[in-house]
Chains A and B, each alone.
Chain A
Amino acid sequence: DSGVTQTPKHLITATGQRVTLRCSPRSGDLSVYWYQQSLDQGLQFLIQYYNGEERAKGNILERFSAQQFPDLHSELNLSSLELGDSALYFCASSDPREQGDTQYFGPGTRLTVL
């Protein structure tokens, strides 16, 4: 158990809908990262937050947005969903004081868009 929690575990929805994925980082970790894992693209970095502020953006679509709240949990919002958005979405957290700033991953949310 990494200490990172994600809800829900599974999400099934229809095209055009909007969903919210939630992540709680390990206790004390200020950084939260979101990754998407799909068969064709592999593991892709989406976005990073550090202590409530956006720190880096990766291959995140404009239809997707995220935020980190004062209690450090984070939410990833996916809107106008398309079939191609079906994937596993992982959250990770890290403590920059740890050597290597190691990222610890949650169990993921499997999104299926029908």
Chain B
Amino acid sequence: AQSVTQLGSHVSVSEGALVLLRCNYSSSVPPYLFWYVQYPNQGLQLLLKYTSAATLVKGINGFEAEFKKSETSFHLTKPSAHMSDAAEYFCAVKGQSQGGSDKLVFGKGTKLTVNP
């Protein structure tokens, strides 16, 4: 079984500051890991994904995440926050096992506020 914990349901940063959104996962099989962003009244947009090719993953809009197996973490970072980054961010996990469910298991989300 898989699970995701996102630490901090709300994170507030100043424009230009570092963004760090935390995600820890639990998985009995090697995981695929994803970060999605949801802007108000919109669907989920894929930011980036880890598929075991490289531990440091770069995504859209200047975001990146590092897979750390020893810490079971996949934290999302961006060096300099922009006002347009204000949204809710979801971390999700999926097992790599063949023949099992392909469902995504999501964390509860972190709402990012960017202050001018």
Contact A102 B43, beta carbon cutoff 8 Å: no
Contacts of A42 in B (CB 8 A): 106-109
Tell me which of A94, A101, A107 contacts B42 (CB under 8 A): A107
Contact B90 A56, beta carbon cutoff 8 Å: no
**Contact of A45 with B by CB under 8 A:** yes
Contact A33 B43, beta carbon cutoff 8 Å: no
Chain B, Cβ-Cβ closest to A100: B51
Interface string of A79-97 (1 = CB under 8 A from B): 0000000000010101010
Contact A105 B90, beta carbon cutoff 8 Å: no
Tally the A-B contacts, defined by beta carbons under 8 Å. Answer: 62
Contacts of B51 in A (CB 8 A): 99-100
- Residues of B in contact, count (CB < 8 Å): 24
Contacts of B45 in A (CB 8 A): 2, 105
Contact B101 A108, beta carbon cutoff 8 Å: no
Q: Which of A35, A55, A102, A106 gathers most chain B CB within 10 Å?
A: A102
Chain A, Cβ-Cβ closest to B31: A100
Secondary structure class of chain A's binding surface, majority of residues: strand
**Contact of B89 with A by CB under 8 A:** no
Q: Which of A94, A96, A101 gathers most chain B CB within 10 Å?
A: A101
Alpha-carbon separation in the docked complex, A56 to B106 (Å) = 16
**Contact of A24 with B by CB under 8 A:** no
A-B contact pairs, 23 of them (CB 8 A): A2-B45, A33-B102, A33-B104, A42-B109, A43-B104, A43-B106, A43-B109, A45-B103, A55-B101, A56-B101, A56-B102, A90-B44, A100-B34, A100-B49, A100-B51, A101-B32, A101-B102, A102-B34, A103-B104, A104-B46, A105-B43, A105-B45, A108-B42
Residues of B at under 8 Å CB distance from A? 32, 34, 36, 42-46, 49-51, 53, 90, 92, 94, 101-109
